[in-house]
Amino acid sequence: VQREAVVNTDGPMMIVAGAGSGKTRVLTYRIAHLIYKGVDAFNILSLTFTNKAAREMRERIEKVVGNEARNLWMGTFHSVFAKILRVEATKIGYPSNFTIYDSDDSKSLIKTILKEEGLNPDVYKPGMVLSRISLAKNNFISVGEYQKSAEVQADDIAAGKPKLGFLYEQYSKRCFHAGAMDFDDLLLKTFHLFNEHPDVLNKYQQKFKYVMVDEYQDTNHLQYLIIRKLAAVNRNLCVVGDDAQSIYAFRGANIKNILNVEKDYPDLKVFKLEQNYRSTKTIVEAASNIIKKNKYQLEKNIWTDNEQGGKIKVFKAESDNEEGSIVAHSIFEEKMNARAKDSEFAILYRTNSQSRAFEESLRRLNIPYRIIGGLSFYQRKEIKDMLAYFRLVVNPVDEEAFKRVINYPTRGIGDTTVNKIMLISRQQDVTLWHVARHIEQYGFEGRVKRAVSDWADMIEGFSLQSETKNAYDIASEVAKASGILRHLYEDKTLEGVNRYDNVQELLGAIKEFSERTDIEEKTLATFMQDVALLTDSDQKDDNEDKVTMMTIHQAKGLEFPYVFVVGLEENLFPSQMSL
């Protein structure tokens, strides 16, 4: 069946790939087979779940077909669409060097709007507002439709949050004003681009003669609509997935996309990869017996030739502390008896907040551990400060970056001055950058005027240089001229030394990026896009010998010899919200 799925390349097809069934191998050889048949690599679009998965698959394909693999369009939905939008952004009114806002930037913007409008942040919690906006975008509800919908308005009023539609409108306007898109916009704006500019859609339909989508069960409605558009001309669409592994409904994923593929494509060929190469018979049978109770599913019979394996152990604990103790002692005993490494063990839970009891128990037994999904390198304050400078150099109208660093390190531009700049910006409907660039026209005088003017001159100078210099050359100059390196170097506390080292590590990563041979564009803008699209699973692998702790969602696609699934309690796993 694997071979059939590889050699059948034309027309719509679906590969139903059970867990551990060699799906990645099939996808790798399918793409290699297309190139071997004479299809140009740049005519193949392959959409994966993480950037890391794309990188690993590209490396595998390269081993089979050589350097031609570098021309593949391969990556996550967000990274591929960001690449398209960079080229086409001006057609929808954005600069090509638009900023990609992460959730912290978005929440910060919402907090600013709440403050300006005098709305209570305890009623309109920024995280909740952002989730509501995200849900609207992923369900294809525009600001206008949101505000016109009697049903949506009634829901908001009943929830005591009648201003959500207004906040959605203001948030969208401010993002546009700042030349910024959030993660949801990368999908939404791509759809609008294709919808409103048939010539652009036609260009990419002709370009992508073969479209492949991995983890199709985790696509949302918007992703589904874009895929259908892209594959409409050549109809060489291959979707790969498993309805039994659909775990992202809380993020808008729609399982109907994979269940209804046959309705969309009556001539669909279906290949089922049903042999599991990864797990023991006991685990495969247990999983199948639970999944077969799903109401809607694609029929398949997962089986394995592997050994029977040990029985699944079930422990009942009286409290979370006792549960932590049982797991930690089990790991300790297994290490002693089987000479297992710490890195062979994983503890999986439903939410990050469950980690405390396990951390304490592991520490008591001196068992080292790491938590996936904790504060990542790029979320640290000193890194975000440095990146904010880089963002401004690439896109000076980026308002969140502007507010973050106009007075960091301190240069005599206090909160009063910043608030005045923000007020003028709102009243005159101009960007913060415009006010700073023409500070003398707005009544600022003396030291403050000079400080703002000097800072804006510095940013503009680097902005012009960034178009011709590589990422590392410009980044190292910005790090020095901004005063950040000196500021951190002068802090001789342990924390200060760590922060300085972290910024040096960031500069090292940019140097590495600038020396890569597999990419043409080595500008700061390209590096910033790569950073903005990083996910937890794309962070550098920590090869240290430690027990891994993470949520079930973060464990997707990973393998460990010893796994503890904890917190299997009513309303916690599965979550009350998913019932």
**DSSP per position, 301-314:** --B--S---PPPP-
Q: Which domain holds residue 561?
A: 313-376+540-565
Task: Mark whether 466 and 410 lie in a shared domain.
Answer: yes
Task: Mark whether 77 and 35 lie in a shared domain.
Answer: yes
Listed residues 146, 178, 210: the one ending a domain: 178
Q: Is residue 439 part of a domain?
A: yes
Angle of CA points 544, 545, 549, to nearest 5°: 95
Residue bearing tokens 């394909």? 61
- pLDDT value of residue 433: 96
- pLDDT value of residue 351: 84
- pLDDT value of residue 408: 95
Across 313-348, b (16+ Cβ under 10 Å) vs e yields eeeebeebeebbbbbbeebbeebeeeeeebbbbbbb
3-state secondary structure (DSSP) of residue 33 = helix
CATH (domain of 227): 3.40.50.300
Q: Is residue 414 part of a domain?
A: yes
Task: Mark whether 3 and 73 lie in a shared domain.
Answer: yes
Angle of CA points 197, 87, 76, to nearest 5°: 95
Q: Is residue 306 part of a domain?
A: no
Task: Mark whether 399 and 497 lie in a shared domain.
Answer: yes
Task: Mark whether 384 and 369 lie in a shared domain.
Answer: no
Task: Mark whether 274 and 420 lie in a shared domain.
Answer: no
Judged on CB neighbours under 10 Å (0-12, 13-18, 19+), 307 is exposed
- pLDDT value of residue 535: 60
Judged on CB neighbours under 10 Å (0-12, 13-18, 19+), 448 is middle
Q: Is residue 488 part of a domain?
A: yes
Task: Mark whether 5 and 75 lie in a shared domain.
Answer: yes
Task: Mark whether 213 and 77 lie in a shared domain.
Answer: yes
d(CA 64, CA 168): 48
Task: Mark whether 328 and 403 lie in a shared domain.
Answer: no
C-alpha closest to that of 272 among 305, 298, 290: 298
Listed residues 126, 152, 178: the one ending a domain: 178
Task: Mark whether 318 and 438 lie in a shared domain.
Answer: no
Q: Is residue 93 part of a domain?
A: no
3-state secondary structure (DSSP) of residue 551 = strand
3-state secondary structure (DSSP) of residue 550 = strand
CATH (domain of 424): 1.10.486.10
3-state secondary structure (DSSP) of residue 525 = helix
Flag whether the pTM goes above 0.85. Answer: no
3-state secondary structure (DSSP) of residue 427 = helix
Task: Mark whether 208 and 278 lie in a shared domain.
Answer: yes
C-alpha closest to that of 391 among 88, 177, 76, 101: 101
Q: Is residue 193 part of a domain?
A: yes
Q: Is residue 359 part of a domain?
A: yes
346 beta partners: 548, 563
- pLDDT value of residue 242: 81
d(CA 252, CA 36): 37
Q: Is residue 529 part of a domain?
A: no
Q: Are 186 and 81 in contact (CB under 8 A)?
A: yes
Number of domains in the chain: 4
Per-10-residue mean pLDDT for the chain, 579 residues long?
Answer: 90 90 90 95 92 86 91 93 96 95 94 95 95 90 93 93 96 96 95 96 97 89 92 94 71 72 90 90 91 81 91 92 95 94 95 86 92 76 95 96 95 94 94 95 93 96 93 96 95 89 92 86 91 66 81 85 93 68
Listed residues 263, 292, 321: the one ending a domain: 292
Task: Mark whether 333 and 371 lie in a shared domain.
Answer: yes
